Structure 1
Amino acid sequence: MVRLFTEELNIGYGDRLIVKDLTVQIPDKKITTIIGSNGCGKSTLLKALTRVIPHQSGTVVLDGSNIAQENTKSLAKKMAILPQTLDSAAGLTVGELVSYGRFPYQKGFGRLSKRDYEIINWALDVTGTQFFKYHPVDALSGGQRQRVWIAMALAQETEMIFLDEPTTYLDMAHQLEILELLQQLNQQQERTIIMVLHDLNQAARFADHIIAMKDGQIIKSGNCHEVITQPVLKEVFRIDADIGLDPRTQKPMCITYNLIGGV
């Protein structure tokens, strides 16, 4: 089933096109990962899919409607996005930051209702951050802060969560912690997860669907066995990769690689 797709999407900054004539479908209730080299349009596509930035032409369709014409609060009840660079939460406690996820549901003076508090506490519980509810966000570790931002996204009660490089600046253990949390949200709550990742082996391990991009266009999309291949990685990243199978997951993994044609 597909609820979100694009048709001949063009996205750019000024006169420079970053994403060109892109048509893509996002599988519902699955984990989709977008991979590609720096500057290929991964983050730009993610932002356009969530209307953070406008597109120049083409359409982004969600549930049969063009998102460009969707009411902002209505759209915020369907999709949440965590950008690569998160806004400062200086002076906020964890509970206060997570409560911002309830904005699409607030009316009048914006007071939180009993239902709002129930959802906030649920989001804290699910992400394992309830203990930090009254702690300053700035006092947390990188992995803990990332969990709190995910809790805020969950508090929006959206069925789709978009994340731009959610494991950046985290050590290996915290990267795995965040990715396993997202996988749990997908498998247990059927959340549709769309994220940009740089680590090919993490993409292969956790994604149901992978989109490989180069120069603003899709080179290959499909499951990990279809995308994490020597020819695709050669075209997308200009590397000669040796691909094996992860002994724990039987998913493809990049064992080693060389640059093609030197530096």
Structure 2
Amino acid sequence: MVRLYTDDLSIGYGERTIIKELSVQIPDQKITTIIGSNGCGKSTLLKAITRVIPYQSGAVVLDGKIVAKENTKLLAKKMAILPQAPENASGLTVGELVSYGRFPYQTGFGRLSTKDYEVIDWALKVTGTSEFKYLPVDSLSGGQRQRVWIAMALAQETEIIFLDEPTTYLDMAHQLEVLELLQKLNREEKRTIVMVLHDLNQAARFADYIIALKSGNVVKAGTCEEVITKQVLRDVFQIDAEIGIDPRTKKPMCTTYNLLRGE
């Protein structure tokens, strides 16, 4: 089932076109990862789909409606985005930050309702951050902060969550912690997860569907087995990769690679 897709989407900055006439589908209730080299348009695509930036032509369609024409609060009840570098939360406690996720549901003077507090506590519990509720966000480790930002996105009660490189600047253990949390949200809460990842093996391990971009175009989209191949990685990254099988997940993994020179 596909609720969200782009149709001939073109995005650019000024006279420079980053993505031209791109059509992709986002499978519902699955984990989709977007891979590609730096500057290929991964983050730009995420921002355009979620209406953070405008696009030049084409359309983003969710549930049969053009996203660009949707009411802002209604859209915020359907999709949430966690950017690569979240805004500074200095001076806020964890609970206060997560409460910002309730903005689409607030009316009048913006006071939190009993329902809001229940959802905030639920989001903290699901992300394993309840114990930090009254602590300053600045006092947490990188992995803990990332889980709190995910809790804020969860508090929006959206069915689709976008994340731009959610493991950046985290050590290996915290990267795995965040990705396992997202996988849990997908499997247990049926959330559609769309994220940009740099690590190919993380993308293969956690994704149901992968979109490989190069210069704003889709080189290949499909299952991990269809995308993590020697030819696709050659085309996308200009590397000569050796592909093996992850002994734990049985999914393909890049075991080693060399740069392709002069091709």
Please tell me the TM-score bracket, short chain as reference: over 0.9
Q: Which residue of structure 2 aligns with residue 76 of structure 1?
A: 76
Measure, in 2, the Cα distance between the counterparts of 1:171 and 1:262. Answer: 34
Alignment of 1:229 with 2:229, yes or no, is yes
User: 1:102 is matched by which residue type in structure 2?
Assistant: R
With structure 2 as the length reference, what TM-score do the two structures score? 0.99
Give the secondary-structure state (helix, strand or coil) at the position aligned to 2:253. Answer: strand
- Quote the residue 1:7 is aligned against: 7
Structure 1 CA distance for aligned equivalents of residues 224 and 38 of structure 2: 20
Secondary structure, counterpart of 1:18 in structure 2: strand
CA-based RMSD: 0.8
Q: 2:90 matched to 1:90?
A: yes
AA aligned opposite 1:247: P
Match in the other structure for 1:187: 187
Q: Distance in 1 between matches of 2:68 and 2:184?
A: 31
Shift of 1:262: 6.5
Percent of matched pairs sharing the same residue: 76
Report how many aligned residue pairs link the two structures.
263
- Which letter does structure 2 place at the counterpart of 1:157? E
How far does the alpha carbon of each residue in 1:44-100 deviate from its partner, in whole angstroms, 9 at most, with x for none?
A: 000011000000000000000000100000000000000001100000000000000
1:178 aligns with 2:174: no
What is the match of residue 241 of structure 1?
241
Distance in 2, Cα, partners of 1:262 & 1:114: 63
**1:253 Cα offset (Å):** 0.4
SS of residue in 2 equivalent to 1:87: coil
Structure 1 runs of 4+ aligned residues shifted over 6 Å read: none
The one-letter code of the counterpart of 2:236 is: V
Give the letter for the 2:130 counterpart.
Q
In structure 2, what is the Cα distance between the partners aligned to 1:7 and 1:88? 34
Gaps in structure 1 of 5+ consecutive residues = none
Name the TM-score, length of structure 1 as normaliser: 0.99
Q: Tell me, in whole angstroms, the C-alpha distance in 2 between the residues paired with 1:200 and 1:224.
A: 10
Is 1:130 the counterpart of 2:130? The answer is: yes
**What residue is the counterpart of 1:22 in the other structure?**
22
SS for the counterpart of 1:177 is: helix
Quote the Cα distance in structure 2 between the aligned partners of 1:262 and 1:36: 20
Letter in 2 for 1:40: C
Cα distance in 2 between the residues matched to 1:210 and 1:28:
13
1:104 paired to 2:67: no
1:162 equivalent in alignment to 2:162 = yes
